Amino acid sequence: QVQLVESGGGLVQAGGSLRLSCAASGRTFSLHTMAWFRQGPGKEREFVGGVTWTGGTTAYADSVKGRFTIFRDNAKNTVYLQMNTLKPEDTAVYYCAADRRALTPVVLTASSDYDYWGQGTQVTVSS
Protein backbone atom coordinates (compact mmCIF):
# COMPACT_ATOMS: atom_id res chain seq x y z
CA GLN A 1 0.00 0.00 0.00
CA VAL A 2 1.45 3.36 -1.05
CA GLN A 3 1.83 5.80 1.81
CA LEU A 4 3.29 9.31 2.00
CA VAL A 5 3.99 10.75 5.45
CA GLU A 6 4.89 14.41 5.96
CA SER A 7 6.79 15.75 8.95
CA GLY A 8 8.63 18.87 10.04
CA GLY A 9 5.77 21.34 10.37
CA GLY A 10 5.33 23.57 13.38
CA LEU A 11 5.17 27.12 14.68
CA VAL A 12 7.84 29.58 13.59
CA GLN A 13 8.28 33.35 13.69
CA ALA A 14 8.26 35.41 10.52
CA GLY A 15 11.68 35.35 8.91
CA GLY A 16 12.45 31.89 10.24
CA SER A 17 12.97 28.59 8.45
CA LEU A 18 11.55 25.08 8.42
CA ARG A 19 12.37 21.92 6.51
CA LEU A 20 9.52 19.59 5.64
CA SER A 21 10.08 15.92 4.86
CA CYS A 22 7.93 13.45 2.96
CA ALA A 23 8.78 9.78 3.39
CA ALA A 24 7.25 7.34 0.91
CA SER A 25 6.60 3.65 1.42
CA GLY A 26 4.92 0.89 -0.53
CA ARG A 27 6.52 2.00 -3.80
CA THR A 28 9.83 3.45 -4.91
CA PHE A 29 9.36 6.90 -6.48
CA SER A 30 12.88 7.39 -7.79
CA LEU A 31 11.54 7.71 -11.37
CA HIS A 32 8.45 9.78 -10.50
CA THR A 33 7.73 13.48 -10.12
CA MET A 34 7.01 14.56 -6.56
CA ALA A 35 5.57 17.87 -5.41
CA TRP A 36 4.39 19.97 -2.50
CA PHE A 37 1.01 21.69 -2.30
CA ARG A 38 -0.51 23.80 0.45
CA GLN A 39 -3.93 24.94 1.58
CA GLY A 40 -4.31 28.02 3.76
CA PRO A 41 -7.40 29.08 5.72
CA GLY A 42 -10.26 29.81 3.35
CA LYS A 43 -8.13 29.10 0.28
CA GLU A 44 -7.94 26.47 -2.44
CA ARG A 45 -5.14 23.95 -2.48
CA GLU A 46 -2.27 25.41 -4.49
CA PHE A 47 0.96 24.19 -6.02
CA VAL A 48 4.11 25.14 -4.13
CA GLY A 49 6.97 23.30 -5.81
CA GLY A 50 7.84 20.10 -7.65
CA VAL A 51 10.83 18.09 -8.82
CA THR A 52 11.18 15.52 -11.60
CA TRP A 53 12.84 12.13 -11.26
CA THR A 54 16.28 13.43 -12.25
CA GLY A 55 16.24 16.05 -9.52
CA GLY A 56 17.50 18.53 -12.10
CA THR A 57 14.17 20.01 -13.15
CA THR A 58 12.16 21.97 -10.60
CA ALA A 59 9.26 24.40 -10.61
CA TYR A 60 7.93 26.81 -8.01
CA ALA A 61 4.95 29.03 -7.44
CA ASP A 62 5.78 32.72 -7.88
CA SER A 63 4.84 33.39 -4.26
CA VAL A 64 7.64 31.17 -2.93
CA LYS A 65 10.28 31.45 -5.65
CA GLY A 66 13.63 32.40 -4.18
CA ARG A 67 12.58 31.42 -0.66
CA PHE A 68 11.66 27.72 -0.93
CA THR A 69 13.69 24.85 -2.35
CA ILE A 70 12.50 21.34 -3.18
CA PHE A 71 14.95 18.46 -3.36
CA ARG A 72 14.93 14.70 -3.09
CA ASP A 73 16.97 11.79 -1.78
CA ASN A 74 16.00 8.79 -3.87
CA ALA A 75 18.06 6.42 -1.74
CA LYS A 76 15.74 7.30 1.15
CA ASN A 77 12.61 7.55 -1.02
CA THR A 78 12.11 11.00 0.49
CA VAL A 79 11.42 14.50 -0.80
CA TYR A 80 12.06 17.70 1.15
CA LEU A 81 10.87 21.29 1.13
CA GLN A 82 13.30 23.81 2.60
CA MET A 83 11.38 26.96 3.53
CA ASN A 84 13.33 30.13 4.31
CA THR A 85 12.28 33.70 5.10
CA LEU A 86 8.84 32.50 6.09
CA LYS A 87 5.94 34.95 6.05
CA PRO A 88 2.58 34.85 7.85
CA GLU A 89 0.89 34.26 4.49
CA ASP A 90 2.80 30.96 4.25
CA THR A 91 0.62 29.59 7.05
CA ALA A 92 -1.13 26.50 5.67
CA VAL A 93 -1.37 22.75 5.75
CA TYR A 94 1.36 21.43 3.48
CA TYR A 95 0.81 18.23 1.50
CA CYS A 96 3.23 15.94 -0.28
CA ALA A 97 2.12 14.38 -3.58
CA ALA A 98 3.49 11.83 -6.06
CA ASP A 99 2.75 11.13 -9.72
CA ARG A 100 2.15 7.47 -10.60
CA ARG A 101 3.63 8.03 -14.06
CA ALA A 102 7.35 7.42 -14.47
CA LEU A 103 9.92 9.54 -16.33
CA THR A 104 7.76 12.66 -16.75
CA PRO A 105 10.20 15.30 -18.09
CA VAL A 106 8.42 18.38 -16.73
CA VAL A 107 6.82 19.36 -13.43
CA LEU A 108 3.04 19.46 -13.62
CA THR A 109 1.30 21.92 -11.30
CA ALA A 110 -2.33 20.83 -11.03
CA SER A 111 -3.43 18.74 -8.07
CA SER A 112 -5.27 16.46 -10.51
CA ASP A 113 -1.91 15.49 -12.02
CA TYR A 114 -0.96 13.64 -8.84
CA ASP A 115 -2.22 10.31 -7.59
CA TYR A 116 -0.80 9.78 -4.10
CA TRP A 117 -1.11 12.22 -1.21
CA GLY A 118 0.05 12.51 2.36
CA GLN A 119 -2.09 13.55 5.31
CA GLY A 120 -0.50 17.00 5.54
CA THR A 121 1.56 18.85 8.11
CA GLN A 122 0.63 22.20 9.65
CA VAL A 123 2.93 25.20 9.23
CA THR A 124 2.08 28.31 11.22
CA VAL A 125 4.08 31.52 10.83
CA SER A 126 3.55 34.18 13.46
CA SER A 127 4.12 37.89 12.90
Distance CA 97, CA 84 (A): 21
Instruction: Work out the percent of the chain whose per-residue pLDDT is above 70.
Output: 100
How is the beta sheet containing 18-25 ordered, strand by strand?
3-7, 18-25, 78-83, 68-73
Looking at the DSSP bridge assignments, the partners of residue 116 are: 98
Region 30-37: mean pLDDT is: 94
Closest-CA residue to 57 (of 77, 47, 71):
71
Q: In this structure, are residues 84 and 67 in contact, taking their beta carbons and an 8 Å threshold? A: yes
- What was the pLDDT predicted at 55? 72
Biggest CA-to-CA distance, the chain: 41
SS3 content of the chain, % helix, strand, coil (to 5): 5, 50, 40
Total number of residues shown for the chain: 127
Task: Give tens-digit pLDDT for 75-124.
Answer: 999 999 999 999 999 999 999 999 999 888 899 999 999 999 999 999 99
Q: Is the pLDDT of residue 126 over 80?
A: yes
- What was the pLDDT predicted at 56? 79
Mean pLDDT of the chain: 95
Q: In this structure, are residues 9 and 121 in contact, taking their beta carbons and an 8 Å threshold? A: yes
Between CA 67 and CA 75, with CA 69 as vertex, the angle to 5 degrees is 165
